[in-house]
Structure 1
Amino acid sequence: MTQLRPLALAVSQTLLATAALAQTAPSALDAVIVTGTRAKDRTLADTAVPVDVLSRDDVLRAAGPDGNLAAALQALLPSFNFPRQSNSGGGDHVRAAQLRGLSPDQVLVLVNGRRRNTSAVVNLESKTGKGTNPVDFNTIPLSAVARIEVLRDGAGAQYGSDAIAGVVNIILDERASGGELVTEAGAFHTKFAPTGQTLTDGQTQSASVTQGWTLADHGFVRAGLEGLHRNATNRAGLDELPPWEDQSAANLATVGQRNYAPGEPATNQWQAWFNGATDVEPGTRAYAFGTWQQRRTLGAAYYRYPDSSANVKSVYPDGYRPQTTGDNRDLQLVAGLKGQWGSWDYDLALNHGQNDFSYGVRRTLNASLGAASPREFHLADFGSRLTALQLDLSRELDVAGLARPLTLAWGLEVREDRFVTGAGDAASYQVGPVVAPAGAQAGPGLQAGDATRLSRRVAGAYVDLSADLTHDWQANLALRHDHYGDFGGATTAKLSTRLALDRTLALRGAVSSNFRAPSLAQQGFAFTVTDRGDGGVLSQVRTLPVDNAVARYLGAQDLKAETSRNASVGLSWQPDKAWSTTLDAYAIRVKNRITLSQRISRDGLADELLAKFGVSGVDGVNFFTNALDTRTRGADLVTQWRGAALGGELSLGWTASFNRTTVRGGDSVGLEEINTLTDASPRQRHILSAQWQGGAWGLSGRLTRHGSTTRVFDFGDGFVPTQTYAAVWQLDVEAQVQLTKALALTLGAINATDRYPTRSISDISYFGNFPYDVLSSVGFNGAYYYARARFSF
């Protein structure tokens, strides 16, 4: 209890200073929404399913040192989780996000209602999202956002694959005039208890400029450019030297030093975007939008000790810590026509998205090559492509007995998905003449024989009905069928309804079936690690596609689509225009969840596979599998109030999320993967928020309680260290002053009270080097302070 007193004092002072805890209030309840409905007049107040709407100012305030949308969504939405990764290979460079505690690839991301391409990176070393390649939220520029609509409900019958947990729809800015220049600078400044130091690092500078232009024929173009630079952070503890390392004088000299570097990766990125439309003839409007990003990141890997077998001492006499490198390039371009075709409204769009990731490592070596080894390696190339043509049609129909015209919508979509991988440098996976660990340390590279090129075609059709059956009762029905050329078809359905019980209170609910098609990466990704085994014999551990003959022999089967049954019921209460509350409970059953199997390894496996397939030296195999079923149950609460106070306008909010996932099956995936699906993300999160705006001044704050998380490691032979990290409170504050009509200045702090998660126990902290785990949503970097200037012109 005593630990909470400083936090309580800080909160009390903030309350006195700001007259409340604060965040920008959600958008007005009468705002028309476009996500989760085909009707053109549904508002936030009368939606049949839970939808959150966040404004551009919400997002900009909450993005913090990460400078990306997912960080803002985690800060604003308790059901959204964006855990950090560190020393996690590709996970250091592309972070995965979750909605309602489900898998990162079970949330569908749209931009202006069009499907966003996924990341090309296959995360095999990260905790959250292992084996997935979901959308990288960091590729969407902050300055492009007009608002974000988050549908917290299954929507496969409306949008197709991936929408099991819900949909995030980013609506781009379309202001036709005026411009903005926004610059921001900040840094982490923290008291780091494990080493007794006061650290300042992670210095971040960013700038963005946007401008709008009016075109003839009621047209507009708005475009923007962003740049960001961030230094790395380091939250390593003092090294104790793992007992299996040589207890030599050179190795013992590293004890008590900070040899590792868990933290945020160094980042340099550029982003650009545009959004525009114009009338090409009366009743016909052409539109186009696009986003582009190039991001270079520098991650950290495990330290190699001076007298380690993975070191060549003549090259690195003091040992070395490799750095992983990522070069991420992302592009989305959409062009379309919308207008009237007889009595139908139509929208025809061509959508192309692509992501390319070049992966490398530097300050390293291939010890089996000795002193002749390169010090830097290209490890692999990854690429994903999405090209889709989509036609949507809708109209209103007068039906006798209905309170309002019925909305009928239907549409067609054809899409091609592609996934490619390219080999790394030969030296990055080569087994050299020296008896030492082979392949690039913190690698190895993708071997030439594992390079993959896959594609598939998808065709889908849907029909959607939305009707007000009476003045107080609305109902919505959607049906969709998608056919995938590589694994078959899926039919989904959704029924949602809302019943106004009186002027202030409404009951709402939905039932739906949804699916997620196995990604091309999960269908065909291959990776081999080659090294010397017992007696110097070459040995391989292989990740194989499910159609590989060896994988088939060991139990692999064709991957099925993940399918879900979603049900939700909720209450919406709005006693007056100033106050509203929604409470929604839900249950999601997912069958055939796809995950990476445990490594299959047994005595005599190499001889067995050599005799049967002529493949030599394979001592271990894993592959993707439909290994288990899960059930997630939870509830989301959103309450907000807005009114006059202290000579200005005050907005208060409390949002909360509760969920729990349980697993059936899972014998083939192991304890760590089950932990990832069930306990590794917070089961609860509460956000207390408010904002006060009076004249030129604005004051805000946000108090978040991140729920507990549990980490499980399975090191084999019954050694399964487990730790539950306690819930943590986080306080964010901000003050803004409008100096002139054009210029506004902002000062703020994220995690202002410098909170950290629970210290990891000795069996998990890797001999003092990783004192804090990556699981807690509060992160492990401490307090971040920033200043922002916005100039409007």
Structure 2
Amino acid sequence: MTVLLGGCAMAAMIAQPAFAQDSDQAPADQTQSDQAGQDIIVTGTRAEGRTRLDAISPVDVLSNEALQRQGTTETAAALATVAPSIDFPRPAVTDATDAIRPATLRGLSPDQTLVLINGVRAHPSALLNVNGSVGRGAAAVDLNTIPTSALQSIEVLRDGASALYGSDAIAGVVNLRLRQERTGGGASVNFGGYATHVPAQLDPRDETDGGTLTASLWQNLPIGDEGYLDLTTEWMNREPTSRGDLDTRDAPAKVRSRYGDPDVRQHTTYANLGVPLGDSGWELVGWGGYQYRRTQSAAFPRNPSNSGNVLSVYPDGFLPLIQSVSKDYTITGGVKGAVGGWDASLTASYGRNKIDFSTIHSINASFGADSPTSFYDGANIYDQFVANLDLSHDYAFGGGDVTVAAGAEYRREGYQIRAGEYLSYAQGPLDASAGAQGFGGFSPDNEVDVHRDNVSGYLDLEGRFGPVSVGAAGRVEHYSDFGTTANGKLSARWDLSPSFALRGGIQTGFRAPSLQQQYYTSIASIIDDGNVVLTGTFPSVSATAQALGGEALEPEKSTNYSAGFVFRSGNFNLTTDAYEIDLRNGLALSENITVSALADDYPDIYNTLTAQGVQRARFFLNGVKLRTRGIDVVANYRLPTDNFGAFAFTLAGNYNDLDVRSIPETTSTLDPAPTLVSRQRIVSIEDGTPATKITGSVDWTLGDFGLTVRGVYYGDVNEPGSTEASDLHTGKKFVTDIEARFTVADQFHFGLGADNIFDVYPDASPAGYSSTGVVSFPFYSPFGFNGRRLYVKAGLDW
């Protein structure tokens, strides 16, 4: 915290007159997209003409240039690098979470941040994260379904906004704004890979892997005098990385795992359209995209002596690969115009995500040598239809201007689980692990096909009266499965001078339990001491969960408080915002409850569950109460010079303290209950993301040459074990990136750079931590555990 405040003080000290007041060599800030914070924002306000420095609530505007001036081509990873309040860890050996990785805002759950595309709610992934990663129990939007080359900017509202946008906006809002241009186009190729020394405890070594080729093509087309159609397509091939340590269980000891990034083959296409409808003042708008992503990630290795191995098939053991094929698309259309002096927008959007799961290089040991080695495991499907009507009107009132906005939304959601092939889940004649090793298939008993509807309405008032701005909003939502909820927001800003303003607000928020959390079902047969143990994740309203006290899930509720200030002087600006978020009735995925442990204290429940053949069970339940407090600081300074080019300095940081205040310890039938929320879950919530993250960058441009140097400080992160002694800490780390660029004939662009140029790793797992050698570095690491990445890129504009 001292480092953060000291850095901002230094930034303020340099806010002095520049060498030259005007220059045509102004580089793009790495966090903000204009020279003095004059970006017109559309997130968090419905008043026209608001800029990020005029806004009542804190909004970051992250430019396309800031996202692309780094080695990664993943939108979520690029966003996390330049936005200190966002974290994007790179989990491994966590099944499909390796393929669809969730991002977090202010340390809260990934599904407590609302994601919009052009201001319209985006659909979440069909994937429910059920393993021990950051975001366990969440089904979140996959930010990587939209390539950075299709974006104009990203706006991050760092404030609760349920009163404005509805469910999920507890931590804030991420609005992905697509490119809107009438002319021009381009193509680019980016190739990079890791050249690193892996400091594993038992097997330190040099590695060159993870080669990634990304090719993008975009074209902007004029339609009529004012219309546009922007098209973007992108291909990405990424080879896997391996950072595991020696497996000492069988001789010879060697690295049997593939602990790192998965193998990915991906293609994405996006379009954005705007066409005036004659001279009516109305405009037809639309956008949509499709992504195909095939990912192969590794499970834990099965060594030769493993009970799940069949020696006649795999004499040296085997490494199961979990393949997920995600097909994701969205299509949105609507009209915008004016009716009776009111600005009006009517849009409808449909999105769908289907994930097909397979396990390859595997076996169903309960069938022995008769088992196949590849399996189709089934599919998860989520779809969402949203229709929005939004109206707004500006009025002169009381010597000021008041924007009145109102609207309504209808949303229909659907969720399906489809079964896999029989041998992917079946128990064979042998006393061995059933189902595909690594990722067992979904059985017909797991199949679900459910829907729900939601209708909502809101009223939003925002007025500016001289130096004072005030806002008030309210929203009522009704869900077909759990009823009605209402939320409100009050906010204010006072401009004490043209350079300094105070702002703050209070609001309530909510997040509806997702269909994935309500209905996800997975039952697997696991061998424990030579016995087949039926273990499953069950809907809270299923007969199994109800016997354990499961009940219909309720919405999470929150109260958000914020207070801060804005300072600007010439080419320098600084925003500081403190916040507190109190979450009530939070959702948690329980630990596995062993049915046999209930025999003495709860014989009736024990008999009920054993009659169903259930031996271990977990389910979602409400009851987590937590509080997060923190501060966000963002400072920008531009220094144009006559002879030395133009400089842009950015320093931004987030300090976040998250505290779990209480957890559910009983259910309606179990009092006291076995452990429902373990120490691992509590520590993961409190310490699974860095309490302090600071990013600083210098961007320099001189004629056709450019250079960006960025440093990011990450506070310590704890990947919890079953006991404190088995916790894995990443340590406090500083990661440095550098990129050099040059342009030829204003058309050809070339660049080369290094992410993590000093080859920084999180602290290695101690020797003897695991005989498998798999978890050699904590995968909670906010910057991954792959080491130095080198890249080159080339582009052509026309």
Give the alignment of 1:19-38 within 5 angstroms.
24=30, 26-28=32-34, 29-38=37-46
Percent of aligned positions with the same letter in both sequences?
A: 35
Provide the rounded CA distance (Å) in 1 between the counterparts of 2:272 and 2:774.
Answer: 47
Could you say if the C-alpha distance between residues 763 and 452 of structure 1 is closer, same or farther in structure 2, counting changes exceeding 3 Å?
Answer: farther
Residue 111 of structure 1: CA displacement?
A: 0.4
Q: Residue 245 of structure 1 corresponds to which residue in structure 2?
A: none
Mean Cα deviation higher: 98-107 or 284-293: 284-293
Q: Counterpart of 1:41? A: 49
Shift in Å, 1:627: 3.0
**For the structure 1 residues 128 and 601, does the alpha-carbon distance in structure 2 shift closer, same or farther, using more than 3 Å as the test?**
same
Q: Is the Cα–Cα contact under 8 Å of residues 25 and 652 in structure 1 kept in the other structure?
A: no
- Structure 1 CA distance for aligned equivalents of residues 472 and 247 of structure 2: 60
Deviation at 1:522, TM superposition (A): 0.8
Counterparts of 1:208-247 in structure 2, within 5 Å, are 208-241=216-249
Shift of 1:307: 2.2
Pair 1:444 & 2:443 matched: no
Residue type at the aligned position of 2:732? A
* Structure 1 residue 122, shift from structure 2 partner: 1.2
Asked if residue 95 in structure 1 is aligned to residue 69 in structure 2, the reply is no
- Whether 2:486 is the aligned partner of 1:499: answer no
Return the letter of the residue paired with 1:193.
P
Deviations 1:42-98, CA, capped at 9 Å, x for gaps: 111211111100111111123x34x21110111001110000110111111110100
How far the C-alpha of 1:769 sits from its partner, in A, is 3.4
Point out where structure 2 has 5 or more consecutive residues left out of the alignment: 1-25, 666-675
Give the Cα separation in 2 of the matches to 1:759 and 1:89: 22
Establish whether residue 671 from structure 1 lines up as the match of residue 669 from structure 2: no
Measure, in 1, the Cα distance between the counterparts of 2:84 and 2:163. Answer: 25
Measure how far apart 1:725 and its partner are: 2.7
Do the aligned partners of 2:494 and 2:502 also contact (CA within 8 Å) in 1?
Answer: yes
SS of the residue aligned with 1:603? Answer: helix
RMSD: 1.9
In 1, the alpha carbon distance for the partners of 2:760 and 2:27 equals: 18
Identify the match of residue 111 of structure 2 among 105, 113, 135: 105
Q: Does 1:176 align with 2:182?
A: yes
1:519 aligns with 2:543: no
Q: Which residue of 2 aligns with 1:623?
A: 619
1:483 to 478, 481, 503: 478
The residue aligned with 1:768 is 773
Aligned mates of 1:369, 1:605 — CA distance in 2: 32
Checking the alignment, whether the CA contact within 8 Å between 2:27 and 2:701 is kept in structure 1 is: no
Q: CA deviation at 1:778?
A: 2.3
Q: Which residue of 1 aligns with 2:647?
A: 650
Aligned partners of 1:386, 1:21: CA distance in 2, in Å?
A: 40
Structure 2 length-normalised TM: 0.92
Q: Aligned partner of 2:646: which letter?
A: E
Letter of the 1:341 partner, please give it.
Answer: V
Q: What residue number does 1:13 align with?
A: none
Q: How far apart, in 2, do the equivalents of 1:670 and 1:128 lie?
A: 15
Q: Which residue of 1 aligns with 2:410?
A: 414
**Paired letter, 1:301:** A
Q: Which residue of 2 aligns with 1:379?
A: 377
Which whole-Å CA distance do the structure 1 matches of 2:104 and 2:769 have between them? 24
8 Å Cα contact 2:69/2:708 also seen in 1: no
CA shift digits 1:676-708 (9 cap, x unpaired): 110111000011111011101001110110110
Q: What is aligned with 2:258?
A: 261
Q: Secondary structure at the match of 1:392?
A: strand
Give the letter for the 1:167 counterpart.
Answer: V
Q: Which residue of 2 aligns with 1:584?
A: 577
Task: Sort the Cα spacing of 1:661 and 1:610 in 2 relative to 1 into closer, same or farther, 3 A.
Answer: closer
Equivalent residues of 1:21, 1:689 under 8 A apart: no
Give distance in 1, aligned partners of 2:270 and 2:461.
34
Equivalent residues in 2 for 1:751-762, closer than 5 Å: 751-762=756-767
What residue is the counterpart of 2:540 in the other structure?
Answer: 546
In structure 2, C-alpha distance between the alignment counterparts of 1:686 and 1:610, rounded to whole Å: 51
Residues 533 and 193 (structure 1), Cα distance of their counterparts in 2 relative to 1, 3 Å cut: closer
Q: 1:566 aligns with which of 560, 564, 582?
A: 560
Q: Which structure 1 segments of 5+ residues have no match?
A: 1-19, 242-250
The verdict on how the C-alpha distance between 1:719 and 1:165 changes in structure 2, with shifts beyond 3 A counting, is: closer
CA contact (8 A) 1:173 1:275 kept: yes
Deviation string 1:439-468 (CA, Å, 9 cap, x unpaired) is 111021111111111100000000001101
CA distance in structure 1 between the aligned counterparts of 2:597 and 2:464, rounded to whole angstroms:
67
CA contact (8 A) 1:406 1:465 kept: yes
Encode CA deviations 1:518-556: one digit per residue, 9 max, x unaligned.
0001111111112456675x5311211111122112111
Deviation of 1:594 (Å): 0.7
Q: Does the C-alpha gap of structure 1 residues 605 and 374 become closer, same or farther in structure 2, counting only changes over 3 Å?
A: farther
User: 3-state DSSP class of the match of 1:618?
Assistant: coil
Gap change, CA 1:192 and 1:285, over 3 Å in 2: same
Rounded Cα–Cα distance in structure 1 between residues aligned with 2:59 and 2:388 = 24
**Are the counterparts in 2 of residues 587 and 631 from structure 1 also a CA contact under 8 Å?**
yes
CA–CA distance in structure 1, aligned partners of residues 616 and 241 of structure 2: 36
Structure 2 CA distance for aligned equivalents of residues 627 and 561 of structure 1: 11
State the alpha-carbon separation in 1 of the partners of residues 49 and 422 from structure 2.
59
Which of 76, 85, 97 is the equivalent residue of 1:79? Answer: 85
Q: Normalising to structure 1: TM-score of the pair?
A: 0.93
The CA distance in 1 between the partners of 2:521 and 2:79, in whole Å, is 33
Determine the structure 2 residue equivalent to 1:193.
199
Matched position secondary structure for 2:774: coil
Instruction: Indicate the residue corresponding to 1:556 in structure 2.
Output: 550
- Quote the offset at 1:611 in angstroms: 4.2
Alignment of 1:272-287 (within 5 A): 272-281=269-278, 282-287=280-285
CA distance in 2, matches of 1:352, 1:767: 45
Whether the 8 Å CA contact 1:21–1:652 is kept in 2: the answer is: no
C-alpha distance after superposition, 1:318-350 (max 9, x if no partner): 110111101011101000011111111100001
Matches within 5 A, 1:120-199: 120-194=126-200, 195-199=203-207
| Counterpart mapping for 1:386-425 below 5 A | 386-399=384-397, 401-403=398-400, 405-425=401-421
Please state whether the residue corresponding to 2:764 is helix, strand or coil: coil
Cα distance between partner residues in 2 of 1:610 and 1:280: 67
**Alignment correspondent of 2:10:** none
**DSSP 3-state at the match of 2:376:** strand
Contact 2:196 2:788 in 1 (8 A): yes
> C-alpha deviations, 1:344-402, integer Å up to 9, x for none?
11000011111110111100000110001010111120011110111000111121x23
Say which of 581, 584, 594 aligns to 1:601: 594
How far off is 1:766 after superposition? 4.9
Q: How far has the Cα of 1:775 moved from its partner?
A: 1.4
- Mapped to 2, the partners of 1:604 and 1:708 lie a distance apart of 37
> Is the 1:25–1:691 contact (alpha carbons within 8 Å) kept by the matching residues of 2?
no
* Contact 2:189/2:216 (8 A) holds in 1: yes
User: Conserved in 1, the CA contact under 8 Å of 2:548 and 2:605?
Assistant: no
Counterpart AA for 2:620:
F
Q: Is the 8 A contact 1:21 1:688 kept in 2?
A: no
Q: Equivalent residue of 1:560, what SS?
A: coil
Give, in whole Å, the separation in 2 of the partners of 1:467 and 1:318: 71
Say if 1:647 and 1:260 are closer, same or farther in 2 by CA, change over 3 A.
same
Check 1:91–1:126 CA distance in 2 against 1; reply closer, same or farther (3 A cut).
farther
Q: Which residue of 1 aligns with 2:671?
A: none
| Matched letter for residue 46 of structure 1 | D
Q: CA deviation at 1:438?
A: 1.4
May I ask how many residue pairs the two structures share in their alignment?
754
**Could you tell me how far apart the structure 2 residues matched to 1:586 and 1:624 are?**
28
The equivalent of 1:684 in structure 2 is 692
